[in-house]
Amino acid sequence: MKTSLVTAVPGKKIRLRDISPDETGGYKSKEETLARLEKLRERLAQLQETLYAEDRRSVLIVLQAMDTGGKDGALKSLLTGINPAGVQVTSFKAPSLEELDHDFLWRIHRAAPPRGIIGVWNRSHYEDVLVTRVHGLIGKKVWRARYQSINDFEDLLSDNGVTILKFYLHISKDEQKERLQARLDDSSKHWKFNPDDLEERKLWNDYQAAYEDAINHCSTAQAPWMIVPANNKWARNIALSEAVVAALEKMKPQFPQPKFDPKTIVIE
C-alpha cells in the first residue's frame, strides 16, 4: 500500500513545516492512482454495507484544513459509490445563539454517527481551538483546557464503539494562493470566493501554530491525527481512501446471522 499520509504519534511532536504538502506517496501522476482508487471505492462500498447491516459500531471521519484545503473535493472522491443511506455528513458553521448558550461540545455530540453509519464532519469541534484562538475570542487558559475536554469526548465516543479517523489536509501557502486565484479567474467558481478569506490568509502562521498544537495535544492512541499532503488533489484522494479502507478492514464488520433458517423458507 502506497500512502503519503503521516500519522501523529502520541507524545511525539509534529511540525507541519517538516511535512511536505507535495508528497505523493510514491505515485508519479494521477493516472497511476486511477485503477487502485477504483478498487478502493469498491471495497469501501462493500465494507460500508457490512457495517450498516451489522449495526453495532460506527465510523467518524473528521476533516480539517486551511481555507481552500480541499475538504469538499476530498469528500466527493471518498464517498463516490457509497450508499447514501449509510453516510451522515455534517458541516459545522458558526454556532447559533442556542448553541452558544451551551458548552462548546453540545452541538458536536448531537452529530455523532449512530451505529452502522459512517459519519463525516466537514470542520468540527476543533474549530473551537482554532478560529476562536486565532481571533482572540477565548483566552489561552480556555483553549488549552479544551484540549483535555476534546480528548475526553473522543475517548467517550471510542468507548461506545465509534472508530475516529481525523485528517488534516495539508496544503502550502503558495498552493492556497493559486486556488484562491483560480476562484477569481473562473466565473463558475465565484460563489466559492469570499473576500474575508484574504483576511484569514494574513493569519496563516497563527493558524499553522494553532493546528500544530491541536494535533500534538489531541493525538491519542484511539484517535491520532493523520496529516494528508494535499497540494496534489489526486494524491490526497488516494491517501484518504487507503486510510479509511484500512481502518474498516481492521474493524472486520460482519453481516448479522439471520434469526431464522433460510432453508425452511418457501416462497410460493
- Cα–Cα distance measured from residue 214 to residue 123, given in angstroms and rounded to the nearest whole number: 13
Question: What cell does 143 get?
Answer: 483553549
pLDDT of residue 268 exceeding 90: no
Does the model's pTM come out above 0.85? yes
Is 68 contained in some domain?
A: yes
Q: For the chain, state the CA radius of gyration.
A: 20
Helix (H) or strand (E) holding 118: strand 118-122
Is 264 contained in some domain?
A: no
Question: What cell does 89 get?
Answer: 455528513
What are the respective helix, strand and coil percentages of the chain, to the nearest 5? 50, 15, 35
Is 248 contained in some domain?
A: yes
Is 218 contained in some domain?
A: yes
Is 260 contained in some domain?
A: no
- Assess contact for 60 and 261: CB atoms under 8 A: no
Is 244 contained in some domain?
A: yes
Mean pLDDT of the chain: 95
Q: In this structure, what CATH number is given to the domain that contains residue 114? A: 3.40.50.300
> Judging by DSSP bridges, how do beta strands 6-7 and 58-65 pair with one another?
unpaired
Is 262 contained in some domain?
A: no
- Total domains present in the chain: 1
pLDDT of residue 25 exceeding 70: yes
Residues with Cβ < 8 Å from 200, sequence gap 6 or more? 67, 207
- So what's the pLDDT on residue 1? 67
For 261, counting Cβ atoms within 10 Å of its Cβ (0-12 exposed, 13-18 middle, 19+ buried), the class is: exposed
Where in the sequence is the domain holding 108, given as residue range(s)? 6-255
Is 181 contained in some domain?
A: yes
pLDDT band at residue 199 using 50, 70 and 90 as cut-offs: very high
- So what's the pLDDT on residue 11? 87
Question: What cell does 150 get?
Answer: 476534546
